[in-house]
């Protein structure tokens, strides 16, 4: 408790200072040092920079999951990273409800398992949506039936595909679903005092809100802990064109749909003539004869010469030869633009 000086004591101090017997510095409070409390039972295993890198990785994961779940559920889904914390495994287990959806994830090629926990409100909203409902779910949460478990397995497998892509810059992760539990007490993947990193994802499906938690033990992530730095992250993201990158880009480009049109000729007609066309009318094309080869356009580029014919009962064209090819510089420009969007 702070001692309060009387008026006489204050007057004596002022007199002493004015007479020079005492310096003002003698009455300044002693310097105090800030003490940081450290709990040896739960030591910090992850630095702030590593926590930040994990957060960035899972922001990418959240965006991919938002897109994939929105398409699968045909409903508005929003997922974003709420927090990234380090705590003991026991604290994580105590913080989640019972029953819940606990997916044990094999983190190959890393050793050990991780846990993906989905809030019951989100779980039953997803199930209701896939079963043809409005996505409101049910307030009375229960353990998953065999059919509901099978449905959630499909959802979690898709989510793990997004996780693999989000971790690409750090490691070629191949996460696999092991099993789904509903009681947290049965999911003892590490000792209770082991430190874990917990990524909490706020999730909204339609009007239903809840959390998804991704728990990764330190023992599992320890082999790549040195790669969880901003310097490594950005150098990996901007590593430029490599043979591996080009193969990935080629694979992605190979599934892109393009328009292929066989141009058999041209003609200029007025709108009046077009409106007056009837079934059976003959349109004479310019500079086109029977037996001529036609131009086969890919997009807006003329790429091949072709000849008309039929396959079975369907009209078709037969490619005769190439008229142009994509130059190396054109391919590099194309792949560069594609790489910037990946």
Indicate whether 310 and 228 sit together in one domain.
no
- Report the distance separating Cα 193 and Cα 91, nearest Å: 9
Weakest mean pLDDT among 23-27, 154-158, 177-181, 242-246: 23-27
Asked if residue 234 and residue 311 are part of one domain, the reply reads no
Alpha carbon 85 to its chain centroid, in Å, reads 19
Distances (CA, A) of 261 to 75, 286, 296, 300, 307: 36, 18, 6, 9, 13
Domain membership flag for residue 334 = no
pLDDT confidence of residue 328: 45
The closest of 99, 138, 97, 117 to 203, measured between CA atoms, is 117
Q: Could you tell me if 196 and 114 lie in one domain?
A: yes
Instruction: Report the C-alpha gap between 211 and 81 in whole angstroms.
Output: 10
Q: How many angstroms separate the CA atoms of 88 and 141, rounded? A: 27
CA-closest candidate to residue 194, choices 40, 38, 42, 37: 42
Whether residues 228 and 262 fall in one domain = no
Partners of 69 in beta bridges = none
Give the pLDDT confidence score for residue 49 in this predicted structure: 85
Q: Tell whether 202 is covered by a domain.
A: yes
Do 316 and 193 reside in the same domain of the chain?
no
Q: List Cβ neighbours of 255 (8 Å cut-off, separation of 6 or more).
A: none
Q: Do 187 and 55 lie in a common domain? A: yes
For residue 257, give both structure tokens.
Answer: 């749909």
Task: Based on the fold, state whether residues 300 and 226 are members of the same structural domain.
Answer: no
Q: Please compute the mean of the pLDDT values over residues 214-221 and round it to a whole number.
A: 90
Comparison of pLDDT for 300 and 331, the residue scoring more: 300
Dump pLDDT digits (tens) for 99-112: 888 999 999 888 88
Q: What is the pLDDT of residue 61?
A: 92
Q: Judge whether 2 lies within some domain.
A: no
With respect to residue 163, please indicate whether it lies within any of the assigned structural domains: yes
* Rounded mean pLDDT, 55-80: 90
Q: How many residues does this entry show for the chain?
A: 342
pLDDT for the residue 199 = 93
Q: Indicate whether 181 belongs to any domain.
A: yes
Q: Is 289 exposed, middle or buried (0-12, 13-18, 19+ CB in 10 A)?
A: exposed
| Claim to verify: residue 95 and residue 184 sit in the same structural domain | yes
217 within a domain of the structure (yes/no): yes
How many beta carbons lie within 10 A of that of residue 211, not counting itself? Answer: 17
In this model, does residue 232 exceed pLDDT 80?
no
Do 134 and 61 fall within a single domain?
yes
Q: Is residue 224 part of a domain?
A: yes
- Residue 332: inside a domain, yes or no? no
Cα-Cα-Cα-Cα torsion 262, 265, 269, 271, nearest 10 degrees, comes to 0
Q: How many domains does the chain have?
A: 2
CA separation for the pair 117, 97 (Å, rounded): 10
**Predicted pLDDT at 39:** 60
Per-residue burial over 293-322, b = 16 or more CB atoms within 10 Å of its CB, e = otherwise: bbebbeeeeebbbbeeeeeeeeeebeeeee
Return the H-helix or E-strand segment holding 243.
Answer: helix 243-253
Same domain (yes/no): 190, 298: no
Q: Which domain holds residue 262?
A: 257-266+292-325
**pLDDT greater at residue 246 or residue 32:** 246
| Low-confidence winner among 41-50, 69-78, 272-281, 302-311 (lowest mean pLDDT) | 41-50
For the cut 50, the answer to whether the pLDDT of residue 341 exceeds it is no
- Say which residues have a Cβ less than 8 Å from residue 236's Cβ, sequence separation at least 6: 169, 170
219 and 307 both lie in a single domain = no
Lowest-pLDDT choice from 126-140, 167-181, 223-237, 286-300: 223-237
Q: Does 262 share its domain with 231?
A: no
Q: Residue 62: which CATH number?
A: 3.40.1550.10
């Amino acid at each position: 408790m702070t001692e309060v000086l009387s008026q006489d004591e204050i007057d004596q101090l002022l007199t002493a200072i004015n007479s020079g017997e005492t310096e003002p510095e003698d009455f300044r409070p002693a310097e105090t040092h800030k003490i940081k409390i450290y709990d040896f039972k739960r030591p910090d295993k992850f630095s702030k920079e590593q926590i930040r890198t994990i957060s960035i990785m899972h922001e990418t994961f959240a965006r991919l999951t938002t897109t994939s779940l929105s398409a699968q559920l045909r409903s508005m889904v929003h997922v974003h990273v709420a927090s990234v914390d380090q705590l003991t495994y026991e604290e994580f287990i105590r913080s989640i409800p019972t029953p819940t959806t606990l997916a044990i994830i094999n983190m190959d090629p890393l050793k050990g398992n991780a846990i993906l926990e989905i809030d019951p409100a989100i779980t039953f909203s997803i199930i209701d949506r896939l079963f043809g409902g409005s996505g409101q779910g049910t307030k009375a949460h229960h353990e998953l039936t065999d059919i509901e478990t099978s449905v959630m397995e499909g959802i979690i497998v898709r989510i793990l595909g997004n996780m693999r892509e989000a971790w690409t810059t750090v490691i070629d992760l191949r996460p696999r679903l092991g099993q789904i539990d509903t009681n947290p007490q049965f999911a003892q993947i590490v000792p209770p005092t082991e430190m874990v990193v917990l990524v909490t994802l706020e999730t909204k499906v339609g009007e239903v809100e809840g959390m998804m938690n991704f728990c990764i033990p330190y023992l599992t992530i320890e082999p790549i802990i040195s790669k969880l730095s901003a310097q490594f992250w950005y150098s990996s993201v901007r590593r430029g064109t490599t043979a591996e990158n080009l193969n990935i880009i080629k694979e992605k480009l190979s599934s892109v749909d393009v328009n292929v049109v066989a141009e058999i000729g041209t003609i200029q007609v007025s709108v009046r003539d077009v409106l007056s066309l009837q079934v059976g009318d003959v349109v004479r094309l310019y500079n086109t004869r029977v037996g001529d080869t036609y131009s086969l356009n890919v997009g807006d580029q003329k790429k091949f010469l072709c000849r008309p014919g039929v396959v079975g009962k369907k009209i078709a064209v037969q490619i005769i030869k190439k008229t142009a090819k994509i130059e190396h510089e054109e391919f590099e420009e194309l792949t560069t633009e594609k790489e910037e969007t990946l």
